[in-house]
Amino acid sequence: MAEPMAEAVQRVPTGQTDWDRIANSRKFQDLMATKKMFIVPAFIFFVVYYFALPVLVGYAPNFMAMKVWGNVNIAYLFALSQFFVAWIIAGLYVRAANDFDRLSQDIIESNGTGERR
């Protein structure tokens, strides 16, 4: 098994103080702030948008049964829109995550490899 090979290339901090130092570093704080700025609003938005469906169907059934195009009603279109909204949020997240990767890589490079201390 070649498992330990990779470990030799990347030295991982061992002492608790190392981890605390990284956690309190400017770079890591930046990473967490960048992540939070996307993830928290995105999570709240999709939860609200999703639960709007059962709430509207349950408590405003007449509104949801209104026909929009032929026999197609608001209820069906709203349910269908959920799929596209989920995909759009996933797409936006992947784009935003490129920044997370860049910031993480920076932290790993300045902390992980022993030689470059």
**Residues lying near other proteins in the complex (CB under 8 A):** 1-3, 5-7, 10, 12-13, 16, 19-20, 22-24, 28, 31-32, 35, 39, 42-43, 46-47, 50-51, 53-55, 57-59, 61, 64-65, 70-73, 75-76, 79-80, 82-83, 86-87, 89-91, 93-94, 97, 101, 104, 107-108, 111-112
Count other Cβ atoms within 10 Å, centred on residue 70.
Answer: 6
Nearest distance from residue 71's CB to other proteins, in Å? 4
Give the whole-angstrom CA distance, residue 1 versus residue 4: 8
Nearest distance from residue 51's CB to other proteins, in Å? 6
Give the whole-angstrom CA distance, residue 67 versus residue 75: 9
Give the whole-angstrom CA distance, residue 95 versus residue 59: 36
The letter for the amino acid at 93 is Y
The letter for the amino acid at 36 is K
Among residues 47 and 117, whose Cβ is nearest to other proteins? 47
